[in-house]
Structure 1
Amino acid sequence: MRAARTLRPLAALIALGLTATTAVAGPPGPPMQTRELGEAMAMLRHAISVPTVKGNHQVPALAAYLADKLKEGGFAADDVQIIPVGETAALVARYRGTGHGKPIYLSGHMDVVAAKRSDWTRDPFTLIQENGYLYGRGTADMKTADVVLVETLIRLKREGFKPSRDIVLLLSGDEETDMATTRELARRYHDAEFLLNADAGGGTLDPASGKPVVYQIQAAEKTYADFRITFTSPGGHSSEPSPDNAIYRLSHAIDKVAAYAFPPMINDITRASLRATGQHTPGALGQAMLRFAAHPDDAQAAATISADPAYVGQIRTTCVATMLQGGHALNALPQSASVNVNCRIFPGTPVASVRETLTKVIDDPTATITVLDPKPVESPASPLRPDVIAAVTEAVHARFPGVEIVPGMSAGASDSMYFRNAGVPCYGTDAAFTKPDDTFAHGLNEKLPASEVGAGLQFWHQVLTKLAK
């Protein structure tokens, strides 16, 4: 996933051992056997060991491994397909139903962000269980969820479950980078009742007590866009400095972008999310969330929320400099200098209007502002479906009775944006409950509470048998 989800994933109350059958708070969900947990853990160990980083050409290997597991678990060979796209690939598996209604899509991605062994405390591509956590690149984002989905489908086959409609698993291979496989999947698969995305949404635990706070169903996400801002100049010998220096002009532009804040915005989804989160967030931040949800014109509340990096994206379009390039020689004046500005655009805001705003903020006619490929995809929020909300609520409450279920908006892009753009309603329904800032997805020493493997198996079994019965 390109950005942390808003109510950032919060994994388990107490990290539970992986040899038991998942002890959770509240009434038990459907029985989950040690067999499924053991199979899922074996798959996860292998999945983590495959470095599916861009440029490693390893996504097809992981896709082939998971495809073999699905076929061993009862899927016909014709119902499992690997779609090559450049050096990566997508995996599709169809669980055939009785033909009543459009299919349900399940979404995830097999690729991960790069991880250097020298930077990590543990080998990022070896699954390590320690102190109640699973460590390794992809444990949180999102090989654990991939494996849980695969194992759940195998379990349903084993049980002889006959869904009323097809269930189609769609695992992309470059969600973290180019999203070429996502675009190909959305081109081929866009006639569904809805899509459930295991890479978004999820549950939040209180960081101090570990108690469940809220569960978010992602129903919208911000538009992802990269803008390159470039300045050029004639250059020349470095011994003859000129005020027309492309790097200096670029630095002034960067300062202006850094100082600018897009105006606060709100919609029904973010209003509900802020209201629910504010009730469980102590101090000034929680009060600001409640005030802003009630009065979006409250400038002080907006400023308080915006001061928190985890929540500024919930109320504003954000643009931030991420990469620099400039000059061509150590002893020459630069002939060009450029910066990449990454924007996460509030739903309903056109990409063109953000480019116009950047142009006004920079206020330099010599700047060239280019929208980079792949072109941004503007996707509408998905209407909240009572059947999806009911199924997810039932599964969450089987574990944590009474936890509030709210719609939410992701601050960054996921595979859902291409399917939403193609007209498929999408809902982020990650099974995991985690504490804020606890998983380090995309960062060093990524981890996930061990309890979330078994909890995820229960969650997805219950949700799918409810929605596809």
Structure 2
Amino acid sequence: MRRSFWTALFLSSLSVTSQAQIKSEHAQKTLDIYRTIVEVDTSKTKGNTVRVAQYLADELIAAGFAKEDVRIVPKGDFGTLIATYRGDGSAGAKPILLLGHLDVVEALAEDWVRPPFELTQDDVNFYARGTVDNKFGVAQLTGTMVRLKKEGFVPDRDLILAFSGDEESGMTTTRMMAYEMPELAEAEYALNSDAGGGSLTADGVAVSYRVQAAEKTYATWEITVRNPGGHSSRPRDDNAIYDLAGAVSAIEAHRFPVMWSEMTLSYFQKVGEKIGGDLGDAMVTFAYDPQDAEAAETLRSQPSYIGSTRTTCVVTMLQAGHAENALPQSATATVNCRIFPGVSVADIEAELRAVVGNEEAEFVLLGDPTESPISEIRADVLAAVSKSVHSRHPGLDMITYMESGGTDGMHYRSAGIPTWGISGVFMNPDEMYAHGLNERVPIKAFYDALDHWSVIIRDLTTPE
């Protein structure tokens, strides 16, 4: 009975997506690409991003790309793919970058209901690690490049596919591409397949389409408290674990100040008007008066929206002690922060130090955080994305937003290249299991996205 219901629902959902489209050469090729790359484990310890990059390179060359225009650039254990779709230069404009990443986060087969590195499906969804993040975007972009080449399309400027190899871990390949490759640095702007996209209600109704135009700064500190320690049979008033616990409690209780930009206020106004109810009312109130304490507190209590209202810092890991019968000589908390654009990493560290209130506590900043600006939306880019979105969902609201997480886009923005996230996927946010168990994407979303990138590319690179 249950299967019959879902089968009927799936077949009904495909009434908008024609069977001819599903059986088209472009659909078959994109699905083949999707299946092939999803079924290769490209998590950080496997070293398989070079393998996937080589497969995609072969597909592009077979479609008509010149061999010299397709490069696999390794860095450490990771591989990147850079492929240039040559234009005729008639626009006299710099290239457009098309971004994605080849790697995925780890997935343990014993934890999953389905095999994480085999593309399986039921009547509604495709399942596997990377089906959304970000092999959906990589497959759709690559399939579109193959399609356009076979159709003989010639853009009025160069298009450059730039697929990184370790976005989910160190972003070393992303940094290399954004800061060390002159041909990419010359781009006018970048379009990222790893962010943005459409939101659906639980019953499949389109609510809005979001264009990612900013990201918060990702910064992590290790805060360590030290002590001479001693024998556990001789407790002392000062104890590294107790001192650290006080610091952790202080961080938990701290509220970073409410912040906003014109983009975030516009986002809350549009989304609030759509969803209604108490949460929607709080969003609209915040949009008109971000200093309204009650509205700000309502949004702070919502994990999906707190990141759009302020900087956040949360303790994510603890390490302490060295033996069960010894007083701890050190205790360390890992604190991960997502910092509002325009606020420096140094300012947040200073605020954390004040919150902890322990001059003996050691703060160690991990890695090299990247502060990136907001990319103000261009009219031509928004018009092209709207053309694609409205071909599927006429009149749907287009909303620019700030990502609470992080993507390759932060480095391109930091390098001076405006970047917008414009994924072709439409799905219910509550069904978004990227990085989690049993990652999935609606089958309908896959097929509905097949024209997304070609519509946008043609609109941006076809002479009037």
Shared fold, TM over 0.5: yes
8 Å CA contact 2:22–2:28 kept in 1: the answer is no
Which residue does 1:70 correspond to in 2? 60
Deviation at 1:212, TM superposition (A): 0.7
TM-score, with structure 2 as normaliser: 0.94
Describe the SS at the equivalent of 2:38. helix
Partner Cα separation in structure 2 for residue 181 and residue 434 of structure 1: 29
Aligned residue among 292, 297, 301 for 1:307: 301
Aligned residue among 244, 265, 270 for 2:259: 265
Partner Cα separation in structure 2 for residue 23 and residue 176 of structure 1: 36
- Any residues of structure 2 matched to 1:46-65 within 5 Å, and which? 46-65=36-55
Partner Cα separation in structure 1 for residue 11 and residue 321 of structure 2: 54
Partner Cα separation in structure 2 for residue 334 and residue 96 of structure 1: 62
Which residue does 2:4 correspond to in 1? none
Superposed CA deviations along residues 110-169 of structure 1, whole A, max 9, x for unmatched, are 111111111110011111111310000000111111011000000000000000110000
Aligned residue among 381, 386, 396 for 2:379: 386
Which residue does 2:427 correspond to in 1? 434
- Any residues of structure 2 matched to 1:185-224 within 5 Å, and which? 185-187=177-179, 188=181, 189-207=184-202, 209-224=203-218
Aligned residue among 223, 232, 238 for 2:226: 232
Superposed CA deviations along residues 332-391 of structure 1, whole A, max 9, x for unmatched, are 222211111111111111111111111111111111112111x11111101210000000
Pick the structure with more helix per residue: 2
Deviation at 1:33, TM superposition (A): 6.1
Superposed CA deviations along residues 69-96 of structure 1, whole A, max 9, x for unmatched, are 1111111111111111111111111101
Aligned residue among 263, 268, 278 for 2:272: 278
Which residue does 2:76 correspond to in 1? 86
Partner Cα separation in structure 2 for residue 348 and residue 178 of structure 1: 23
Superposed CA deviations along residues 275-300 of structure 1, whole A, max 9, x for unmatched, are 11101113111000000000011000
- Any residues of structure 2 matched to 1:146-165 within 5 Å, and which? 146-165=138-157
Describe the SS at the equivalent of 1:124. coil
Whichever residue aligns with residue 164 of structure 2, its letter is S
Partner Cα separation in structure 2 for residue 118 and residue 37 of structure 1: 32
Does 2:341 align with 1:355?
Answer: no
Deviation at 1:313, TM superposition (A): 0.3
Whichever residue aligns with residue 64 of structure 1, its letter is Q
Does 2:134 align with 1:142?
Answer: yes
8 Å CA contact 1:102–1:165 kept in 2: the answer is yes
Are residues 349 and 298 of structure 1, via their aligned partners in 2, closer, same or farther at CA, if it must alter by over 3 Å? same
Which blocks of at least 5 consecutive residues in structure 1 are unaligned?
1-13
* C-alpha RMSD of the superposition: 1.8
Deviation at 1:204, TM superposition (A): 0.8
Are residues 31 and 390 of structure 1, via their aligned partners in 2, closer, same or farther at CA, if it must alter by over 3 Å? farther
8 Å CA contact 1:392–1:463 kept in 2: the answer is yes
Partner Cα separation in structure 2 for residue 295 and residue 242 of structure 1: 51
Deviation at 1:39, TM superposition (A): 1.3
Which residue does 2:28 correspond to in 1? 38
Describe the SS at the equivalent of 1:398. helix
Whichever residue aligns with residue 292 of structure 2, its letter is D
Which residue does 1:445 correspond to in 2? 438
- Any residues of structure 2 matched to 1:320-469 within 5 Å, and which? 320-373=314-367, 375-469=368-462
8 Å CA contact 2:69–2:84 kept in 1: the answer is yes
8 Å CA contact 1:16–1:450 kept in 2: the answer is no
Whichever residue aligns with residue 340 of structure 1, its letter is T
Which residue does 2:125 correspond to in 1? 133
Deviation at 1:468, TM superposition (A): 1.6
Partner Cα separation in structure 2 for residue 354 and residue 138 of structure 1: 33
8 Å CA contact 1:53–1:113 kept in 2: the answer is yes
Aligned residue among 247, 251, 264 for 1:253: 247
Are residues 282 and 385 of structure 1, via their aligned partners in 2, closer, same or farther at CA, if it must alter by over 3 Å? same
TM-score, with structure 1 as normaliser: 0.93
Describe the SS at the equivalent of 2:51. helix
Whichever residue aligns with residue 230 of structure 2, its letter is G
Whichever residue aligns with residue 28 of structure 2, its letter is G
8 Å CA contact 1:16–1:451 kept in 2: the answer is no
Partner Cα separation in structure 2 for residue 304 and residue 246 of structure 1: 36
Partner Cα separation in structure 1 for residue 271 and residue 439 of structure 2: 25
Deviation at 1:15, TM superposition (A): 4.9
8 Å CA contact 1:32–1:458 kept in 2: the answer is no
Q: Which has the higher contact order (CA 8 A, sep 6+)?
A: 1
8 Å CA contact 1:104–1:193 kept in 2: the answer is yes
Which residue does 2:5 correspond to in 1? none
Partner Cα separation in structure 1 for residue 199 and residue 10 of structure 2: 15
Identical aligned residues as a percent? 45
Which residue does 1:106 correspond to in 2? 98
8 Å CA contact 2:259–2:310 kept in 1: the answer is yes
8 Å CA contact 1:217–1:408 kept in 2: the answer is yes
How many aligned positions are there?
A: 449
Whichever residue aligns with residue 242 of structure 2, its letter is Y
Partner Cα separation in structure 2 for residue 394 and residue 45 of structure 1: 28
